[in-house]
Amino acid sequence: MIKTMEQITTIAEMRIHIKEAKRQGQRIGIVPTMGFLHEGHISLVKAAREICDLVVMSIFVNPLQFGPNEDFERYPRNIERDTELASEAGVDLLFTPDVSEMYPRPILTTVSVANVTAPLCGASRPGHFDGVATVVTKLFQIVQPDYAFFGQKDAQQVAVITQMVADLSMPIQIVPCPIIREADGLAMSSRNVYLSPEERQQALVLSASLRQANEWLDEGITLGEIKERVVQKINEMPLAKIDYVEVLGFPDLEPIEKEAAGQGIIIALAVYFGKTRLIDNLITQIR
């Protein structure tokens, strides 16, 4: 039987569907997105399809998680194309509320996770993770999923949501999914469309320097030295402006006191190319 996807724009209508799915004992999965879908998002739907009976995708460009000088207004949107891609990928319910449906009045309640939000993107984008944690909590309340699927490109976001779900005893399994890359290595991102051809070419330095970092780890180079080399390599690109290059413990995102083989680490990068800020990371361990 071919199931057709339904598009839902109101919380009330979503609740009716969810109530029925729960009554039937269905396992519900959510893929929260901000749309402008690419293969990274599609891989999340595939992972959801494997273990869930009902796959919900949300598309909502969440104003709460953008700073005043960030790209909320110009964030790429294409709901017609997204609808087609979501349907082909096997989404059952596509939730596309508008801002007035999600925030009918100024929101006075914020979900704020400490410590894991302090470094990396939390340091460069004040308030960003409060916005993410708050909207994700709302989406979880609306969809009541058993599973939620997030891409590891936003590794800190995964850490924040995992911490939040544990701290607040939300009965939801967070499923992190691997970074999906273009054939040339660039991590897929909706923001890649902002890049000029020159910027896009130079942005390959991100994945290339992470690949090299992996080799340097094999050679036993220290983390401090690896970080310096990555910074140097990125700075060779005239259009690149580093926001941060960090090596932290993973999954705690704490500074590494003493390097020991087997210790989980993340090498995380955020770099501007023109106005476009790209992130990428490598999660691995000390050899």
Q: What is the rounded distance in angstroms from the CA atom of residue 183 to the CA atom of residue 186?
A: 8
Question: Does residue number 117 form part of the binding site for ligand PAF (CB under 6 A)?
Answer: no
Return the residue of 17, 33, 122, 191 that touches ligand PAF, per CB under 6 A.
33
Active site residue 41: yes
Shortest separation between residue 34's beta carbon and ligand PAF, angstroms: 4
Answer for which of 30, 34, 86, 116 binds ligand PAF (CB under 6 A) is: 34
Kindly provide the b/e burial profile for residues 7-45, where b requires at least 16 CB atoms within 10 angstroms of the residue's own CB.
ebeebeebeebbeebeeeeeebbbbbbbbbbbebbbbbb
Set 17, 38, 41, 128: catalytic member = 41
CB of 2 to ligand PAF, least distance (A): 28
Q: Which two tokens stand for residue 93?
A: 């319910």
C-alpha angle 250/255/260, rounded to 5°?
70
When asked if residue 202 is in the footprint of ligand PAF (CB under 6 A), the reply is no
Query: Minimum distance from CB of 64 to ligand PAF (Å)?
Result: 8
Nearer to ligand PAF (CB atom), residue 21 or residue 34: 34
Q: Considering only residues 141 through 200, tell me which ones interact with ligand PAF, judged by CB under 6 A.
A: 154, 157
Counting contacts by CB under 6 A, is residue 32 touching ligand PAF?
yes
Contact letters for ligand PAF, residues 56-75 (x by CB under 6 A): ------x--x----------
Q: How far apart are CA 115 and CA 63, in angstroms?
A: 23
Q: Are 89 and 42 in contact (CB under 8 A)?
A: yes
For 211, phi and psi rounded to 5 degrees? -65, -40
User: Would you count residue 43 as binding ligand PAF (CB under 6 A)?
Assistant: no
Of 37, 44, 120, 136, the one binding ligand PAF (CB under 6 A) is: 136
H or E element in which residue 240 lies: strand 240-249
Report the candidate in 189, 190, 142, 138 with the shortest Cα–Cα distance to residue 161. Answer: 138
Size of the site for ligand PAF (CB under 6 A): 10
The reply to whether omega before 63 is within 30° of 0 (cis) is: no
Rounded to a whole number of angstroms, the minimum distance from the CB of residue 262 to ligand PAF is 30
Any idea how long the chain is?
287
Told to check if 82 binds ligand PAF by CB under 6 A, we report no
Catalytic residues: 41
Binding site for ligand PAF (CB under 6 A): 32-34, 62, 65, 132, 135-136, 154, 157
